[in-house]
Amino acid sequence: MKKIAITGATSGIGLETAKALLEKGNHLIFLIRDIKKGKQMLASMPNAENVQIISCDLAELSSVKKAAEELLKTNDHLDVLINNAGGTFEKRLESKDGLELHFAINHLGHFLLVKELIPLLKKSHTKIINLSSEAHKAGKLDFNDIHLKNKYSTLKAYGNAKLCNVLFTKSLARKGFTSYSLHPGVIDSGFGNNLSGLFRLMWKLGKPFMKSPRQGASTSIYLALNELPKEQNGVYFKNRKPFRSSVDSRNTAIQDKLWEISEKLVTEKLGSNS
């Protein structure tokens, strides 16, 4: 059985992924913001005794660092890390560190988590799975305005964050890690609850055509439990099959620039919080 850490395990795709992995007898580490909710969820989960809960707020870099420290202190092996948590927001919001919230939660929090866990990830040959979206194809990063202070839109912010997930995955593969990104499908869950107006209407109209959270979890579960050919390392998956991601996501210069900026941001923000 595998030891698997997962962010965002208390709702939507993350919850269904966690349930399925527990049903198969795996040991899970929940990296979650709402500890009370997590404990309530465990009451209805199979093999709940196989779960360790660690507090982790991806919108606060100091919380992510503390979570990584606790994980390292309490575990000497990790087979899989699923960076599942995400979110979308209609208005431009900032994290506790002053970062645009899509970028903070969907990308930078997970970037820091991986960075802090590198000794364990290397020792364990951990597989890293990053949830992205087809929306990444609409992403176009402006490194002079990574926090979209000038021309914000929900679609731009979300697309950029999901592009970051694919870029990060490919960077990890180039650096010698095993990593995959994936599109889970458009899911009928609470994901669109933060939207209003036209966006909320469009979300409701699309509900009959959406996958259930369990269906959306299928590719995450597949990647977590199966060994794939080396040539598929760094690849983007849909419906448990490899697909070609966007042109920008395959640009190594953009991959390197995102890594450089991410390193700089976490160093600056953690330094200012210490």
Q: Distances in Å between the alpha carbon of 252 and those of 163, 170, 171, 195, 261?
A: 13, 8, 8, 34, 14
Give the integer Cα–Cα distance in Å for 252 and 230: 19
Residue located via tokens 């869950």: 189
Choose, from 158, 180, 222, 236, the residue flagged as catalytic.
158
**CB-CB contact of 213 with 191 (8 Å):** no
Q: Give CA–CA dist 33/19, Å, rounded.
A: 18
CB-based burial label for 98 (10 Å; 0-12, 13-18, 19+)? exposed
What tokens appear for 270 in the block? 């953690």
Token reading at 44: 């209805």
Maximal CA-CA distance, the chain: 48
Antiparallel, parallel or unpaired: β 178-183 and 127-131: parallel
158 is catalytic: yes
**E-strand stretches of 66-183:** 80-83, 127-131, 178-183
73: Cα separation from own chain's centroid: 22
Burial 65-96 (b: 16+ CB within 10 A, else e): bbbbebbeeebeebbbbbbbbbbbebeebebe
What residues act catalytically? 158
